A and B are shown apart, each in its own frame.
Chain A
């Protein structure tokens, strides 16, 4: 009886020390919160997209990630971007309510709260070198550049290459390889 209790205590101790593998966490997939993951992707986009030189004229021009409309990220985007820079350009997060404030950013996340005027927003920014990112239905099909799509519990990217081309942005093949190409350059119809 005593022995059994000791054995179970030992097992508990080993478990706490991480020596004995805890079955559930090793069996299942790694989990994340949806908006933490989306924030991490916004950070990665800064690395995998090349802007034309005139969009980042000076070495000390910050690379700005803008959020238009309601911010779904909470603190996570600020946490991820804090003290980071890409190619010498410091990363900066800004939040906008009005569209004309957003003209100077490099990545623009257009919140679902702007759904009602998505076409208007996109037609205004789509000739600037702004990587538009959204999560509303058919965002990339409707000439946004990168759409977040949650399918099978995983985050997938829909990329409108034609829209990226108009914005003079080059998206790394490393990112494209894992994305679905949509819009007029969708590879099959």
Chain B
């Protein structure tokens, strides 16, 4: 069920023995040795005397470097959830040119590149090109497709320099975030227009990234109103077939947008933003896949006091996908949400909200191969939630409880409660536990899908397909044992019911015939060795066990057990060198996917950057440096492999 490209074109002969791996331990060692030099080289500089500081302008003050960070250890996050934040600095220093690439070094997340443009991304298992248990939001806008309850990653892009952070929450976030937040939530947040003033121009080229360029300008509309506009484009080279031939999936994309932030009074904030994009992805068998779309969002926030606020948000999103001789889809989404945050009594911090979403999905079935019937479907989703964070003991013990109730067009009412407890025995330690229920509501692929387009059918969706249900139990520990060291470990035990099965035919049909359990451990640590050197590492263990529930005769769904790696690990080194140089190196290991016959692999990514002036930077980035190419996802017959990518990039801001 690969909707990203025509599966018929993927019947390439399998190559010889697996890709040859050129080990580069010497390179890693060199990075490690280099790291010892700068720590002592920086201590001799003159420090500005206190009295001289008051003569400096605000701009100059903001530009000063502080010699020592506060000695007192900051408390670790008290959030009772497995949260990882990818900062704008992480994005810059990993050299990620796209949102999926920026998620490579997040523990517990599986990022597998399917071909030049498609990714299979999930958290805590069930990966696939149509992975359906992850909610992805870009500035509060869900980029979910009701076609398969997942994300078309090839249509999602952002001006990477303007991303403030990407929050990744593993585990169910359904109580607050709602539909589809089953195994995790990815929340891409862009910077306020007030924080992106001036020009930024960037561009570069490489062997895979054949050319990319972008520009942003931010200005003021008044003392309390700011805006920015941006445009970007890229030309990306093709992936390879297992035998080394060009897979013919080169692509181009352009995107532009604007954002304005206005604070008319000290109590009100208004944000208006929008984007448009277009992309063509070549195919070997027929004309290129054409993707286009746009969105507009408005958000108003009113504060009543430091503890109480109201937020109203509305957006419209249109996205089109034309895959010649496969399908043409046009999806319109209208979404309206209201959130109210209040402290009704001492110790209580309450958030509640209401939401309405209308999706109008129109699939023009342009081939005899497959069909969604009815072709056009309008769905309405009504949601309401309430959550209360209770300070049982201030700064020590917090209990969070809440539930979401939603009504969708397929299954009616669904409820998604959660209970979370955070205990801070010391300010630098948090022990947390959570129990939640989440559902994955049916998508069009579960209900309306037919192969081929006319009877006799080979595969049919199930018009009575029910929501998949998850009961999740989580336990985690976050700690800062040393001032410069933070570590966290998250464990989970997930029990799934009514998972999608593929029932024996003819015709084959989809049903809720599987149940299962997953369990796993995610650990990460960040160590600031010196002011100049930061090390981080992560490890993920995951085990899936799926069982067929009689009377199911599942012939396909259960194999998802082996679609996720059992072990994943990474290590990263970020080094700031004298003379405005910086050096980043990262190694990641991803275990095998037995069901796909994708062998385990290790990859080395590195970046060297030089900032010759305060207004510019030049960088060279290498990704997947250990081998010429390797597969990350897909069965051999339909597989694409992405090769080593090296590119240079220059950025100017003024």
Q: A residues bordering B, Cβ < 8 Å?
A: 24-25, 27-34, 36-37, 39-41, 43-44, 48, 75-76, 79-80, 84, 112, 115-116, 119, 122, 126, 135, 137, 142-143, 150, 152-156, 160-166, 170, 173-178, 180-181, 183-189
- In the assembled complex, the Cα of A78 lies from the Cα of B74 at a distance in Å of 27
| A185–B61 CB distance below 8 A | no
How far in angstroms is the closest Cβ of chain A from B343?
10
Interface string of B32-59 (1 = CB under 8 A from A): 0000000000101111111101101011
B197 contacts which chain A residues (CB < 8 A)? 177
Task: Let me know if B27 is at the binding interface, CB within 8 A.
Answer: no
A80 contacts which chain B residues (CB < 8 A)? 50-51, 53-54
A152 contacts which chain B residues (CB < 8 A)? 89
Task: Let me know if B161 is at the binding interface, CB within 8 A.
Answer: no
In-complex Cβ contact of B261 among A27, A36, A142, A187 (8 A)? A187
B64 contacts which chain A residues (CB < 8 A)? 29-32, 37, 154-155
| B307–A188 CB distance below 8 A | no
In-complex Cβ contact of B67 among A33, A39, A156, A175 (8 A)? A33
- In the assembled complex, the Cα of A76 lies from the Cα of B192 at a distance in Å of 34
B61 contacts which chain A residues (CB < 8 A)? 37, 40-41, 44, 155
| B50–A36 CB distance below 8 A | yes
How far in angstroms is the closest Cβ of chain B from A53?
17
Known contacts A33-B66, A37-B66, A41-B61; is-contact A188 B54 (Cβ 8 Å): no
Interface string of B184-227 (1 = CB under 8 A from A): 00000110101101000000000000000000000010011010
| A161–B48 CB distance below 8 A | no
Select the stretch in B264-272, B439-447, B471-479 that faces chain A.
Answer: B264-272
Task: Let me know if B29 is at the binding interface, CB within 8 A.
Answer: no
Known contacts A30-B48, A80-B50; is-contact A187 B192 (Cβ 8 Å): yes
How far in angstroms is the closest Cβ of chain A from B78?
9
In-complex Cβ contact of A183 among B50, B226, B299, B306 (8 A)? B306
- In the assembled complex, the Cα of A164 lies from the Cα of B164 at a distance in Å of 24
| B303–A33 CB distance below 8 A | no
Known contacts A143-B306, A143-B307; is-contact A176 B194 (Cβ 8 Å): yes
- In the assembled complex, the Cα of A33 lies from the Cα of B578 at a distance in Å of 20
Smallest Cβ-Cβ distance to A34: which chain B residue:
B66
| B65–A162 CB distance below 8 A | no
In-complex Cβ contact of A33 among B47, B307, B579 (8 A)? B47
Task: Let me know if B240 is at the binding interface, CB within 8 A.
Answer: no
Q: Number of B interface residues at 8 Å Cβ cutoff, please give it.
A: 69
Task: Let me know if B588 is at the binding interface, CB within 8 A.
Answer: no
Interface string of B407-426 (1 = CB under 8 A from A): 00000000000000000000
Interface string of B8-50 (1 = CB under 8 A from A): 0000000000000000000000000000000000101111111
| B72–A162 CB distance below 8 A | no
| B48–A36 CB distance below 8 A | yes
A186 contacts which chain B residues (CB < 8 A)? 269, 301
Task: Let me know if B531 is at the binding interface, CB within 8 A.
Answer: yes
How far in angstroms is the closest Cβ of chain A from B530?
12
Q: List 10 A-B contacts (CB under 8 A).
A: A30-B63, A36-B48, A40-B50, A79-B50, A150-B66, A173-B223, A181-B269, A184-B308, A185-B269, A188-B139
| B299–A188 CB distance below 8 A | yes
- In the assembled complex, the Cα of A184 lies from the Cα of B68 at a distance in Å of 31
A122 contacts which chain B residues (CB < 8 A)? 306
- In the assembled complex, the Cα of A39 lies from the Cα of B304 at a distance in Å of 31
A112 contacts which chain B residues (CB < 8 A)? 70, 72
B307 contacts which chain A residues (CB < 8 A)? 143
- In the assembled complex, the Cα of A73 lies from the Cα of B140 at a distance in Å of 41
11 extra interface residue pairs, beta carbon distance < 8 Å, beyond A32-B48, A185-B301, A189-B311: A28-B42, A32-B53, A41-B61, A153-B531, A154-B62, A162-B309, A170-B266, A177-B226, A181-B194, A188-B192, A188-B299
Task: Let me know if B463 is at the binding interface, CB within 8 A.
Answer: no
Task: Let me know if B518 is at the binding interface, CB within 8 A.
Answer: no
- In the assembled complex, the Cα of A48 lies from the Cα of B67 at a distance in Å of 26
Known contacts A24-B45, A31-B48, A80-B50; is-contact A174 B303 (Cβ 8 Å): no
- In the assembled complex, the Cα of A32 lies from the Cα of B44 at a distance in Å of 13
B53 contacts which chain A residues (CB < 8 A)? 32, 36-37, 39-40, 80
A165 contacts which chain B residues (CB < 8 A)? 265-267, 303
A185 contacts which chain B residues (CB < 8 A)? 263, 266-269, 301, 303, 309
A31 contacts which chain B residues (CB < 8 A)? 45-48, 64-67
Smallest Cβ-Cβ distance to B395: which chain A residue:
A116
